[in-house]
Structure 1
Amino acid sequence: MSDVLTTPKPRRNAELLLLVLALAVGIGANALAGLDQDQGLGGDFYVQTITLSVIAVAVHVALRLRAKYADPVMLPIVIALNGLGLAMIQRLDVAMDPPTTAAARQLMWTAIAAVVAIALIMLLKDHRVLRRFTYISLILSALLLVLPLLPGVGMELNGARIWVNLGFATFQPGEIAKITLAIFFAGYLSTNRDLILLAGKKIGPLQLPRWKDMGPMLAAWLVSIGVLIFQRDLGSAILFFGLFMAMIYVATSRISWVLIGLLMIAFGGFVAFQLFPHVTARIDGWLNAFDPEVYNAPGGSHQIVQGLFGLASGGLTGTGLGQGRPDLVTFANSDMIIAALGEELGLIGVSAIVMLYLLLISRGIRTALGTRDAFGKLLATGLSFTLALQCFVVIGGVTRLIPLTGLTTPFMAAGGSSLLANWLIVALLLLISDAARRPAPAAGLAGARPSGRPGRRRNSEQERMTAGAGEAEQR
């Protein structure tokens, strides 16, 4: 086959066209919400429109300069989701009595997050550099998770101690910890994969790991339990342990790790349900949501039930942007923004949003498949599963499939910490996708080594793990 057919194209022009469509979705939603509430297109609308457009163009230009082979679909999806979130938050601001300013803060954090993402794209030349910071990432993760527990630094909001006070704003360090933990897990598993794969006891078709190799999973489990007990954050506990389970399964391809992880989750959840009142209340509110005593209790099921009523009133096509009453739901612009969107956009609108998330996550997994190095594969997988787990936990909680937690809907829910972390996740995925789709060096240069520096022997297991995978992204 000729080189013309196999060499990938940058496809930045396709991204630009998709960005126009994405901006039309976000800006159009904001305009509809304002017109339906008889607010007109005021100054806030034009500020949001200009800011979101500038952000889209700036990130696009950064990709043209530094990562021209990056995935062309991820950025438009993020812009569309971010724009829809801004439109709904602005709509809820106006509906409050007195009106709030959450949309202005969300727009500010969107700009900050985009600037940081652009800086990462411009400064990080090769994602493999992050492998050098494997254990530094572990230490940084521990510090980030401990910060909210320190007197005078951490603060408790809505029953969870997951925030730190920056003076001018609050910040949730655990949002950044999910990225540093993904870097640590990717570095550790790609380096120690051969040892982890050494056979342990076999029971039927399952090949169990050796006891000495259970240390990383036990550590991840203890971190998750610690977050659940001390920070009272069920969502982050599920996220951290689920992240590790997904990455170790990808690294080893052994279902025994998943089964052991599920048993540990079941044991930890049962003990926490028996011993800790905040966990008991959360489970009780899930199982007995429509019980009058649970519904009327402080911190009971009022929020989830009102969200379900909102989804029900939206029906198939929704009430229309600006025509519903999502403001009746507590924390409608953050925890329950999916319920607010479901009421005004209906099942069809929410299904379209879920499809956008599925497409974004699938592009991340495709990036992992096309990456040539084991570290990049695991990191892209971990970051993609981080987004997937957030969506599952949030949407599952709103629809009462699982207990409601405090996680935020990526790119849509009000929250600066979440916006910053998720924009960084997408920036890393874009950089990894650029490395995956970039043409391989010419045959005569592939084996060349920099002068004066000895070459490193490639890990044979790593080569087997990545052989031929780069072709997936070149189609």
Structure 2
Amino acid sequence: MPPNVSLPAGRTGPNDTGAGTLTSSIRIRLRTPARLRNLELFLLVLAGALGLGAMALGQLGMTGETDAGILWSFAILGVFVLAFHVVLRVVAPNADPFILPIVSTLNGIGIGMIYRLDLYSGTTGWASDGVRQIVWTAIAIAAAIAVVIAFRNHRVLQRYRYIAMFIGIVLLLLPLLPGIGREVNGARVWINIGVASFQPGELAKIALAVFFAGYLVTARDTLSLVGKKVLGIRFPRMRDLGPILVIWAAAMAVLVFQRDLGTSLLYFGLFLVMLYVATARVGWIILGLVLFIGGAVVASQTLGYVNGRFNAWLDAFNPAVYDSVGGSYQLVQGLFGMASGGLLGNGWGLGRPDLTPLAKSDYIFAALGEELGLAGVFAILALMLILVSRGFRIGFNGQDDFGRLLAVGLSFVIALQVFIVIGGVTRVIPLTGLTTPFLAAGGSSLLANWVIAALLLRLSDTVRNQPRVVVSP
């Protein structure tokens, strides 16, 4: 029997007198994938027009003319995105129709801003970050297409949860190895691959999400049903604390040895939220927050670079902090830039975001705020919110526990990363070295986030294909 078939009570199939209702339901079901993909195609056209417009306006604002060559380079990305759309029509016709257009829109806006900053610095051609971002986007889309084709059933990933754990640990340790590890801006999270550099921790978060989902599916009963109640909240037994202590130790190791507060918070937050979703126990959240906050406070008092981040956050406008090495200069410049944008911004290509250090990567949100204003960054945040909400919806509608946990985990990775980055730029929390998903310059982040989008698309197709029979009275 096809999925989502609605039968009158007492009818069992087309041989009964309810054959007309059954045939009508089948026709509706067959038309649904076509409607989803047609909606996706329409939104992709709008996304492509927005990205191409961002490139053209950046050129007009800086030079007064447009460069057809770079516009054609950007248009080639449209071919990759359309190829992804065609693949979804064939192998995942019921996939969510909003995910691909949203990530394409964000990616296009990011490329437009990066290229606009290239024009101001006078960097053009293959040496420019904008062209490299276009190349990395093509590679990331190709990888996402491969993921959708290769994993026709997401449950296959559950079998390899311990392999995913091993891969995740190896990726985390790679930057610490002598010879290939490289320190950038005080954080040792990069490795050298020939003439290029890569941040393996970006892919590690996907591997760890797969492992956490597979592990918690098998261990959640023990973690959720056993323990003592304190003030109405059930806390775990000491013997069950092993997983959270191991992940906490790994997060603290990233903080101490790789000198990366943001990545440490991202990994630990991912595990904590997936643990809560699996067990529905508030005690895990309280315990996890106490452990991480305690570790962060100790690190701020004993590790110089963490202490510097906290000082720059708490006393950003102090001249001594502003002028010190690793102080609050970048933070304050970004705040002034966003403030100058006001409600509607200075206009695309008309601001001075180049005055903020690392405006193409860590501080691209501040650059967008300066030129698009509060209205523009709210629109970008709305797209991020819709993307995360679609991922949560996929998880909540899933029929198997592994798929539900994986969808929630992958969606939360994006949400938490956006909060950590934008919270740091806007001085809500201490500044970290993470990048804004899909917007900031960086091939490793772009590749990892496109793979996350591909996994969510695969999960959404599986959810819609789940057999459900609804008996109407």
Structure 1 residue 129: Cα displacement:
0.2
Task: Indicate the residue corresponding to 1:41 in structure 2.
Answer: 66
Counterpart Cα distance in 1 of 2:422 and 2:297: 23
Counterpart Cα distance in 2 of 1:133 and 1:67: 23
Give, as a single letter, the amino acid of the residue that structure 1 aligns with 2:180.
Answer: V
**Aligned with residue 83 of structure 1, among 89, 99, 108:** 108
Counterpart Cα distance in 1 of 2:334 and 2:466: 49
State the Cα deviation string for residues 256-293 of structure 1 (Å, max 9, x = none): 11011110111101110111001000110111110001
Task: Indicate the residue corresponding to 2:373 in structure 1.
Answer: 346
Task: Indicate the residue corresponding to 1:409 in structure 2.
Answer: 436
Counterpart Cα distance in 1 of 2:73 and 2:111: 8
How many pairs are equivalent? Answer: 443
**Aligned with residue 463 of structure 2, among 430, 436, 453:** 436
Counterpart Cα distance in 2 of 1:128 and 1:98: 46
State the Cα deviation string for residues 199-231 of structure 1 (Å, max 9, x = none): 211112101111111111111111110001000
Task: Indicate the residue corresponding to 1:165 in structure 2.
Answer: 192
Task: Indicate the residue corresponding to 1:251 in structure 2.
Answer: 278
Task: Indicate the residue corresponding to 1:322 in structure 2.
Answer: 349
Residue pairs, 1:46-125, within 5 angstroms: 46-96=71-121, 101-125=128-152
Give, as a single letter, the amino acid of the residue that structure 1 aligns with 2:72.
Answer: V
Single out whichever of 300-309 and 34-43 deviates more from structure 2: 34-43
Structure 1 residue 47: Cα displacement:
2.9
Structure 1 residue 98: Cα displacement:
5.4
Q: Does 1:396 align with 2:426?
A: no
Residue pairs, 1:103-252, within 5 angstroms: 103-252=130-279
Counterpart Cα distance in 1 of 2:64 and 2:309: 38
Q: Please state whether the residue corresponding to 1:207 is helix, strand or coil.
A: strand
Task: Indicate the residue corresponding to 2:398 in structure 1.
Answer: 371
Residue pairs, 1:376-391, within 5 angstroms: 376-391=403-418
Task: Indicate the residue corresponding to 2:9 in structure 1.
Answer: none
Q: Does 1:16 align with 2:45?
A: no
Conserved in 2, the CA contact under 8 Å of 1:31 and 1:45?
no
State the Cα deviation string for residues 105-139 of structure 1 (Å, max 9, x = none): 11111000010110111111100000011111111
Structure 1 residue 198: Cα displacement:
2.8
Q: Please state whether the residue corresponding to 1:37 is helix, strand or coil.
A: helix
Counterpart Cα distance in 2 of 1:405 and 1:380: 25
Structure 1 residue 92: Cα displacement:
0.3
Task: Indicate the residue corresponding to 1:460 in structure 2.
Answer: none
Change (3 A) 1:44 1:303: farther
Counterpart Cα distance in 2 of 1:243 and 1:151: 28
Structure 1 residue 357: Cα displacement:
0.1
Structure 1 residue 44: Cα displacement:
4.3
Counterpart Cα distance in 1 of 2:210 and 2:466: 25
Q: Please state whether the residue corresponding to 1:127 is helix, strand or coil.
A: coil
Q: Does 1:362 align with 2:389?
A: yes
Taking structure 2 as the reference length, what is the TM-score of the superposition?
0.91
Task: Indicate the residue corresponding to 1:287 in structure 2.
Answer: 314
Give, as a single letter, the amino acid of the residue that structure 2 aligns with 1:204.
Answer: L
Counterpart Cα distance in 1 of 2:76 and 2:333: 33
Change (3 A) 1:259 1:373: same
RMSD: 1.5
Conserved in 2, the CA contact under 8 Å of 1:148 and 1:164?
yes
Task: Indicate the residue corresponding to 1:472 in structure 2.
Answer: none
Structure 1 residue 244: Cα displacement:
0.5
Taking structure 1 as the reference length, what is the TM-score of the superposition?
0.91
Counterpart Cα distance in 2 of 1:60 and 1:257: 40
Task: Indicate the residue corresponding to 2:13 in structure 1.
Answer: none
Conserved in 1, the CA contact under 8 Å of 2:343 and 2:374?
yes
Task: Indicate the residue corresponding to 2:15 in structure 1.
Answer: none
Change (3 A) 1:309 1:141: same
Percent sequence identity over aligned pairs: 54
State the Cα deviation string for residues 365-403 of structure 1 (Å, max 9, x = none): 000011111000000000000000011001101100001
Task: Indicate the residue corresponding to 1:301 in structure 2.
Answer: 328
State the Cα deviation string for residues 165-202 of structure 1 (Å, max 9, x = none): 00120000000000000000000001111121232111
Counterpart Cα distance in 2 of 1:134 and 1:83: 34
Structure 1 residue 7: Cα displacement:
4.0
Task: Indicate the residue corresponding to 1:458 in structure 2.
Answer: none
Single out whichever of 38-47 and 425-434 deviates more from structure 2: 38-47
Counterpart Cα distance in 2 of 1:375 and 1:44: 46
Q: Please state whether the residue corresponding to 2:165 is helix, strand or coil.
A: helix
Counterpart Cα distance in 2 of 1:322 and 1:44: 19
Structure 1 residue 34: Cα displacement:
1.1
Conserved in 1, the CA contact under 8 Å of 2:56 and 2:71?
no
Give, as a single letter, the amino acid of the residue that structure 2 aligns with 1:78.
Answer: V
Structure 1 residue 39: Cα displacement:
4.5
Give, as a single letter, the amino acid of the residue that structure 2 aligns with 1:272.
Answer: A
Give, as a single letter, the amino acid of the residue that structure 2 aligns with 1:386.
Answer: V
Counterpart Cα distance in 2 of 1:165 and 1:385: 29
Single out whichever of 20-29 and 233-242 deviates more from structure 2: 20-29
Counterpart Cα distance in 1 of 2:53 and 2:175: 39
Conserved in 1, the CA contact under 8 Å of 2:55 and 2:71?
no
Task: Indicate the residue corresponding to 1:462 in structure 2.
Answer: none
Structure 1 residue 158: Cα displacement:
0.9
